């Protein structure tokens, strides 16, 4: 049975004034961890991860999998919202992953599009989606930790709509003016619906969904990383080969996240069967 992986990392967001630092390292770290478990890994970094590039790479890796195969897709970069155009969101906003060319492309890779991509995979293919990004409504700053390089900022991996959407596409108040901050959004994760739970798919996310929840771009011992990626891989190295996804999530949340430095709570979404599978098998 084949093991296939796609690892995406985007630090460079031209035209947004909100570049990140740890996402390329994240992608390379996930790729190394997966390659050590006999995955055939493709990476997509910075300019390679245009919206078209992300769609094509996801389509290709999913199409290559047959019954019994496992596909792992990791994404490290900004998350954002954009106005819902098909009316399926109660809050009027789609969640999305921000591609490198979000300003020129004019759109995220939305939850609707991800759902459509993931739905193309053959029956019996196990799919794991790991997202070290956030899809929240405001921007804040975390404290620094002893393990972090205190000379560098801790940046939420959230790209406000005003940094990439033209004013005529921003959500509007009753007065017709664009919102200065994001209006209240639903606490339920639109990304949860991306997964076909009956088929055993799994989502691991760096933080909760909804207002004021973030995944953080940080620096550990002088090296940039996402806090979720750094600690998730640290825990993974310490787990026995028999450990399940549920074991991984429990150890991560009990030992490392959330913390005073990184107030983010990683999420695991999937069926009981999926959560009980051995990691990356």
Residues annotated catalytic, as ranges: 78, 134
Question: Residue 92: enclosing H or E segment and its boundaries?
Answer: none
Question: Residue 272: enclosing H or E segment and its boundaries?
Answer: helix 272-275
Q: Is the peptide bond before 105 cis (omega within 30 degrees of 0)?
A: no
Q: 174-179 — which CB contacts under 8 Å span 24+ positions?
A: none
Angle, in degrees to the nearest 10, between helices 227-238 and 23-35: 20
Count helices and strands (H / E) in the chain.
7, 12
Nearest 10 degrees: CA dihedral of 86, 90, 93, 94?
A: -70
Q: Tell me the C-alpha distance between 12 and 9, whole Å.
A: 9
Q: Tell me the C-alpha distance between 191 and 188, whole Å.
A: 9
Q: How far is CA 236 from the centre of its chain?
A: 18
From residue 122, how far is each of 165, 167, 199, 246, 275 by CA, in Å?
Answer: 35, 41, 10, 25, 20
Q: Tell me the C-alpha distance between 60 and 54, whole Å.
A: 10
Helix, strand, coil content of the chain in percent (nearest 5): 30, 25, 50
Question: Residue 253: enclosing H or E segment and its boundaries?
Answer: helix 245-255
Tokens of 29: 């770290």
């Amino acid at each position: 049975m084949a093991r296939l992986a796609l690892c995406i990392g985007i630090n460079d967001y031209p035209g947004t004034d909100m570049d990140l630092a740890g996402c390329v390292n994240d992608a390379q770290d996930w790729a190394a961890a997966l390659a050590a478990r006999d995955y055939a890994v493709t990476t997509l970094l910075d300019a390679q991860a245009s919206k078209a590039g992300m769609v094509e790479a996801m389509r290709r890796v999913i199409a290559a999998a047959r019954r019994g195969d496992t596909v792992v897709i990791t994404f490290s970069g900004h998350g954002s919202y954009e106005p819902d155009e098909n009316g399926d969101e109660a809050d009027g906003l789609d969640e999305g992953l921000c591609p490198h060319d979000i300003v020129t492309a004019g759109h995220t890779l939305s939850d609707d599009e991800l759902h459509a991509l993931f739905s193309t995979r053959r029956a019996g293919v196990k799919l794991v989606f790991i997202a070290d990004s956030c899809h929240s409504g405001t921007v804040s700053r975390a404290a620094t930790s002893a393990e972090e390089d205190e000379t560098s900022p801790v940046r939420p991996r959230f790209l406000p709509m005003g940094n990439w959407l033209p004013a005529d596409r921003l959500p509007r108040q009753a007065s017709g003016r664009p919102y200065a901050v994001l209006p209240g959004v639903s606490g339920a994760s639109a990304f949860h619906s991306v997964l076909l739970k009956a088929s055993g798919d799994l989502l691991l996310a760096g933080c909760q969904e909804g207002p004021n929840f973030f995944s953080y771009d940080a620096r550990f011992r002088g090296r940039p990383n996402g806090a979720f990626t750094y600690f998730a891989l640290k825990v993974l190295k310490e787990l026995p080969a028999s450990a399940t996804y549920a074991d991984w999530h429990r150890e991560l949340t009990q030992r490392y996240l959330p913390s005073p430095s990184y107030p983010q709570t990683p999420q695991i979404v999937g069926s009981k069967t999926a959560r009980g599978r051995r990691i990356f098998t």
